[in-house]
Structure 1
Amino acid sequence: MYNDGSEPVRSSLQDTRPRALSVSELNHQARHLLESSFMQVWVEGELSGFSRPSSGHWYFSLKDRKCQVRCAMFRGMNQRIRTLPKEGDQVRIRGKVTLYENRGDFQIIVEHIEPAGLGALQLAFEELKRKLLAEGLFDQARKKPLPPLPRHIGVVTSPTGAAIHDILTVLARRCPAIPVTLYPTAVQGKTAAADIVRAIESAQNHGIADVLIIGRGGGSLEDLWCFNEEAVARAIAECRIPTVSAVGHEVDVTIADFVADLRAPTPSAAAEKVSPDQSDWLRQLRERESRLSNAMALTLKRLSTQLGHLGARLRDPRRELQEKAQRMDELELRLEKAIRQRLTNVAVRNDHLGQRLFMQSPRRQLSQSHETLGRASERLVSVMQQHLRQRRDSLEHLAQTLNVVSPLATLGRGYAIVRDSQGRIIREAPDVSPGDTISARVARGEMTAKVTSVKSADETGL
């Protein structure tokens, strides 16, 4: 209603029309509805209208034959993309559906972009895998065995990630005596590959680790991509230290897994693979200690038995001397017989030579033969005398040796051999009775005595 001045006049009646939303309220509610309905989507289409302002953000549209949708990819996300997309590329994007409230534009905030089909990263992965496989870097024959008992464990990973915590926890539980050295490195981002290569080189130059764990915790393909870099793969393949790859979760597979000497599904599993279990050690130690104790007991028993046998075989030295003396007598007799035979032979030869000389008759030859014979006889006599002296000296020495162990030598030290009237040796006092006649053989002579009393060993205290 209007008055004459053409100004609106408020009606006294209540306005029953529905409440109108402001544009801001409408766009805000629409944005909330879109974001709650589409948490994350993958969309494939043709890239169009690509622009890259100085802010570093990317803006483009994704279209198919009928429709298109605006997209924005902010600098923090697009820095991970290694290949700059271009107009007309068929791509796949992952992102969140939202509404740009200021203009009311429906759009997608892109988190990841890749070529449609297999994807750029996957294509790069397969290409590098084929290349290194052809070079033999995956061959089982070139892989080094892990030490069964490492003296020092090296770890190439981030000092702040969950991987190092998991590794140290497992090692502390299984075998805390093994020292661990961390070679810190970035495990994500543009510089991560170069950092990993430098960390591997540092571990080799340090020269204390005899096994090396290389890895990180789980993440997306982009997060793990540094372990698919060719430089990292070649550094692991050329590493002189046995290596264990422990990248991501069990389902994650990287190029590093193929070139490493051993692949572990997780960092915790890598720690278990490189470290022995101290409880198993203790059990084995107790078993070996028991086997060693039993073996020592058996060895001592065997040696004791051998010692007893050797002791039983040990001969009395007096018997040995008796045999030597008997042998000397035999040799002396053989020597005398040999000398007599030699003299006989010489005499016979002399007679023969004399006969030959007599038969030949020349006086000069006879004279020379007599002289030769005389000299030979003298030498023979001299040799025989010297030989006899040597034998006599040896015999006297043996006689002296025998005399030392002879019972007569014992008598010479004040002992006597006592016999009864029948000539039997008396060994105990009860063998005689008072009034019996006994004889005592001493070193020089023998005496006879009569027994006046007899005392047993118990009575004398002997």
Structure 2
Amino acid sequence: MSFPMHYFTDTPADSPETPAKALSVTELNGKARRLLEMSFNNVRVEGEISGLARPSSGHWYFTLKDKRSQIRCAMFRNRNQGLKFTPAEGMLLLVRGRVSLYEGRGDYQLIVEHMDNAGTGDLQKAFEALKMKLAAEGLFDITRKKPLPAHPKHIGVITSPTGAAIRDILTVLERRFPAIPVTIIPSSVQGAQAKNELVKALILAEAANQFDVLIIGRGGGSLEDLWPFNEEVVARAIANCPIPIVSAVGHEIDFTISDFVADHRAATPSAAAEILSPDRQAILNQLHLLRRKVTALIRHKLQLSQKELEGLQKRLRHPGERLRDSSQRLDDLEIRLKQAITLQLERARSRLNRTQYRTLQQNPLRKLELLRNRNDHLNQKMTQLMQNNLEKRRLKLEKVSGELNAVSPLATLSRGYSLTTSGEAIIRNSQQLKEGELITTRFHKGEALCKVEKLTP
């Protein structure tokens, strides 16, 4: 679509020598507005919404963009009240309206008459995809979030040193608790290099080893303006930082990936300063209360001490009376000491007598005599026992010998019998022998070697 070419002049075209009258800025903007409205009075545009603002007037102001361009848009209250949905950052819209120009600023804009939801924009899709990915990895889990210090000793602020966010943070800290040291770690918060600078600032803050809490953030803006805080490298750097981090990006309605992965999310940079700074007035009130309690406690203690002193003064007696009491007590102690010494001597004498008796009982010579007598007695008893035992064994041996003799082969031989053997075998039958075999015949007394001449069955 091309713009029609129109030229505005106060002189006829056929008199070029006549100089043209100069237009005021208001006149020029008015002519441009009328030209745009006449040429584009009913257009349909599709784009992703960004930077939506809804002031108290009820009008909506936002930007429609695609990958290469953007256009400012306005939708007045009488048009947006009939919508059945509320547009949100990153939403893809199909709008219908007319092209115009805001004469006060000379801004080219689209006056939206109607809009439809056409889906989700590319940035919003990327935001949701990264959010789901990091959530699945557990980077948003409550269990991994570090607690914030109750009374920070040193706050580090990662943001643009010239932005509104740092001014808001410093203003709140100055009002609430100016004694807290604050160090600004500068980083750009918008543009292609912002994500790298934010990561570098986090690394520097950790290496400094002096902060017990960090604030990372910026003021409000469109989704594109806040996008560095939706970058994966920034989210992972925040998750890996050992220092507790408060994410304070944009306004209360703005949410970034940094808000989810940080240890705490603040709606605004000012809110982050409110969260981290103790209320100076509240602390002063508490100190005043403690001072009153301590003063009352000291006053009560002094009153008790005063009463105790008065009681001691009443019990205080004349020195002469105390001296007589001390003298009498000394005499009493002297008598008790003598009695105690006498009693101790008697006890010592009794212990000495018992010790002497036990010593006599334990005399080595006496013990040796007792042992000698005991030894003689045991020797006599052992001799008697041995003799008795030997006698019993002799009688038992005679009995067993008689029994053995009764069944002994030798006793049989003494009655005229003989015992014939061939080698180790006893010959009981002539069939055990062979003619010419040598055999041994044992008699009651002696034995004879015989040769078998003839065998009779």
- Say if 1:305 and 1:43 are closer, same or farther in 2 by CA, change over 3 A: same
Superposition deviation, residue 24 in structure 1: 3.0
**Alignment of 1:33 onto 2:37:** yes
Task: Return the alpha-carbon distance in structure 2 between the equivalents of residues 271 and 302 of structure 1.
Answer: 47
Q: Please tell me whether the aligned partners of residues 35 and 96 of structure 1 are also in contact (alpha carbons under 8 angstroms).
A: no
Question: What's 2:103 paired with?
Answer: none
Counterparts in 2 of 1:187-202, with a 5 A limit?
A: 187-202=189-204
Task: Return the alpha-carbon distance in structure 1 between the equivalents of residues 350 and 169 of structure 2.
Answer: 104
Question: What's 1:231 paired with?
Answer: 233
Task: Return the alpha-carbon distance in structure 2 between the equivalents of residues 77 and 44 of structure 1.
Answer: 8
**Tell me, which stretches of 5 or more residues in structure 2 are unaligned?**
9-30, 49-64, 72-91, 101-108, 111-116, 354-457
- Matching residue's letter, 1:282: L
Question: What's 1:332 paired with?
Answer: 338
Question: What's 2:54 paired with?
Answer: none
- Matching residue's letter, 1:131: K
- Matching residue's letter, 2:273: A
Question: What's 1:24 paired with?
Answer: 6
**Alignment of 1:157 onto 2:139:** no
Superposition deviation, residue 36 in structure 1: 7.8
3-state SS of the aligned residue for 2:200? helix
Q: Please tell me whether the aligned partners of residues 41 and 95 of structure 1 are also in contact (alpha carbons under 8 angstroms).
A: yes
Question: What's 2:181 paired with?
Answer: 179
Superposition deviation, residue 43 in structure 1: 1.4
- Say if 1:24 and 1:136 are closer, same or farther in 2 by CA, change over 3 A: same
Q: Cα deviations across residues 119-140 of structure 1 (Å, max 9, x unaligned)?
A: 2222221222122222222222
Question: What's 1:411 paired with?
Answer: none
Question: What's 1:290 paired with?
Answer: 292
Task: Return the alpha-carbon distance in structure 2 between the equivalents of residues 268 and 334 of structure 1.
Answer: 85
Task: Return the alpha-carbon distance in structure 2 between the equivalents of residues 187 and 196 of structure 1.
Answer: 7
**Alignment of 1:319 onto 2:325:** yes
Q: Please tell me whether the aligned partners of residues 47 and 66 of structure 2 are also in contact (alpha carbons under 8 angstroms).
A: no
Superposition deviation, residue 232 in structure 1: 1.1
Task: Return the alpha-carbon distance in structure 1 between the equivalents of residues 208 and 344 of structure 2.
Answer: 86
Q: Please tell me whether the aligned partners of residues 206 and 242 of structure 2 are also in contact (alpha carbons under 8 angstroms).
A: yes
- Matching residue's letter, 1:43: E
Task: Return the alpha-carbon distance in structure 1 between the equivalents of residues 226 and 352 of structure 2.
Answer: 113
3-state SS of the aligned residue for 1:272? helix
3-state SS of the aligned residue for 1:24? coil
Superposition deviation, residue 289 in structure 1: 0.9
Task: Return the alpha-carbon distance in structure 1 between the equivalents of residues 307 and 333 of structure 2.
Answer: 34
**Tell me, which stretches of 5 or more residues in structure 1 are unaligned?**
1-21, 46-71, 79-90, 100-107, 110-114, 348-462
Task: Return the alpha-carbon distance in structure 1 between the equivalents of residues 221 and 350 of structure 2.
Answer: 117
3-state SS of the aligned residue for 1:160? coil
Counterparts in 2 of 1:40-189, with a 5 A limit?
A: 42-43=45-46, 117-189=119-191
- Say if 1:320 and 1:92 are closer, same or farther in 2 by CA, change over 3 A: same
Task: Return the alpha-carbon distance in structure 2 between the equivalents of residues 29 and 282 of structure 1.
Answer: 60
Task: Return the alpha-carbon distance in structure 2 between the equivalents of residues 28 and 121 of structure 1.
Answer: 34
- Aligned positions, number: 277
Task: Return the alpha-carbon distance in structure 1 between the equivalents of residues 182 and 233 of structure 2.
Answer: 25
Counterparts in 2 of 1:273-312, with a 5 A limit?
A: 273-306=275-308
Superposition deviation, residue 324 in structure 1: 3.5
3-state SS of the aligned residue for 2:119? coil
Q: Cα deviations across residues 378-409 of structure 1 (Å, max 9, x unaligned)?
A: xxxxxxxxxxxxxxxxxxxxxxxxxxxxxxxx
RMSD (Å) for aligned C-alpha atoms: 4.5
Question: What's 2:242 paired with?
Answer: 240
Task: Return the alpha-carbon distance in structure 2 between the equivalents of residues 345 and 170 of structure 1.
Answer: 89
Task: Return the alpha-carbon distance in structure 2 between the equivalents of residues 191 and 215 of structure 1.
Answer: 15
3-state SS of the aligned residue for 1:117? strand
Q: Please tell me whether the aligned partners of residues 31 and 98 of structure 1 are also in contact (alpha carbons under 8 angstroms).
A: no
Q: Cα deviations across residues 351-371 of structure 1 (Å, max 9, x unaligned)?
A: xxxxxxxxxxxxxxxxxxxxx
3-state SS of the aligned residue for 2:126? helix
- Matching residue's letter, 2:325: R
Superposition deviation, residue 142 in structure 1: 2.1
Task: Return the alpha-carbon distance in structure 1 between the equivalents of residues 193 and 252 of structure 2.
Answer: 25
Counterparts in 2 of 1:367-378, with a 5 A limit?
A: none
- Say if 1:311 and 1:268 are closer, same or farther in 2 by CA, change over 3 A: same
- Matching residue's letter, 1:298: H
- Say if 1:160 and 1:96 are closer, same or farther in 2 by CA, change over 3 A: farther
**Alignment of 1:253 onto 2:235:** no
The TM-score with structure 2 as length reference comes to 0.51
Superposition deviation, residue 250 in structure 1: 0.6
Task: Return the alpha-carbon distance in structure 2 between the equivalents of residues 333 and 214 of structure 1.
Answer: 88
Q: Cα deviations across residues 268-293 of structure 1 (Å, max 9, x unaligned)?
A: 11111111222222211111111111
Q: Cα deviations across residues 68-89 of structure 1 (Å, max 9, x unaligned)?
A: xxxx9796879xxxxxxxxxxx
- Say if 1:327 and 1:181 are closer, same or farther in 2 by CA, change over 3 A: same
Q: Which moved more, 1:168-177 or 1:306-315?
A: 306-315
